[in-house]
Amino acid sequence: MPDIQFADDVVSHSPLPRPVYPFRETYEDSASSIAHHLLQQSFEFAPDIRFVLNKDNSVEFANLLGRQMLKDGGLCLNGMRQLRFRSGRAQASFDEALANTRRDLKKRHHKIIAVEDGEWTSLYVRCLDLDTGHLEVAIRPTDQHLDIGSVAEAFGLTAMETKVLLGLVRSLCPKKIAISNNISVHTVRAHIRGIYAKLGTRSGTATQSLVLRLID
């Protein structure tokens, strides 16, 4: 199998492109802890899209599905070889997940991000090595009908609060939540305040994180 250089395939203007090699060609004989982990976890043929990032968040490894996603244009690399989503909102959520993981390397972070209108993706970020700062990013499709019924029941949410909560979990803004439920933005904000009070949270991000931990 020939070496694959995504900088040439995806971002032709990238200065001094550094190849992202298929994992098994590069590290199968390495004694590094990262290589050992990837071998044990069958990184190359994992059923979801996966990347390993360096300390500067540049891509070092991409598994088979990750490489295909880059070639298809679903994701791309910037000049610093960092992952970029097509949606600005998805990119902001991704950057936030990376920053949160960097602040707490012992915790796995899970977010649901809206990659396009009506389409959501589950994003998982965790640290592979505390010394090197390598992160593993896993991206997988999300069930469009997230089951948050048990959470709603546990916290005593009303039917409309449950619908608004689903919008928060999907990272929708109050205006989109209002449109999808045929209510006013003012009513949505009132329901959000009620949800925060019942769940003991203070922001949409904290609420999303709590719900995702409970249903994960």
Whichever domain contains 210, its CATH number is 1.10.10.10
Boundary of a domain, candidates 141, 161, 179:
141
The answer to whether the CB of 70 falls within 8 A of the CB of 77 is yes
pLDDT score for 103: 93
CA distance 167 to 170: 5
Q: Answer yes or no: do 184 and 131 share one domain.
A: no
Looking at residue 41, what is its pLDDT? Answer: 65
CB-neighbour burial class of residue 199 (10 A; exposed 0-12, middle 13-18, buried 19+): buried
Give the pLDDT confidence of 96-132 residue by residue, as tens digits. 899 999 999 888 888 877 666 556 778 889 998 888 8
CB 19 within 8 A of CB 3: yes
Q: What is the pLDDT of residue 216?
A: 65
CATH number at residue 10: 3.30.450.20
Name the residue among 75, 31, 71 with its Cα closest to residue 53: 75
Which three-class secondary structure state does DSSP give residue 128?
coil
Residue reference for tokens 């999300």: 142
Looking at the fold, whether 83 and 154 belong to one and the same domain comes out as no
160 plus 121 within the same structural domain: no
> Domain for residue 91, yes or no?
yes
Which stretches of the chain drop beneath a pLDDT of 70?
1-41, 114-119, 142-146, 216
pLDDT of residue 195: 95
pLDDT at 3: 34
Answer whether residue 1 is part of any domain: no
- 145 φψ region: left (φ > 0), alpha (ψ -120 to 50), beta (else): beta
Last residue of a domain, one of 141, 176, 204: 141
Q: How many folded domains does the chain comprise? A: 2
Give me the domain span that covers residue 172. 149-215
Instruction: Name the domain boundary from 86, 109, 141.
Output: 141
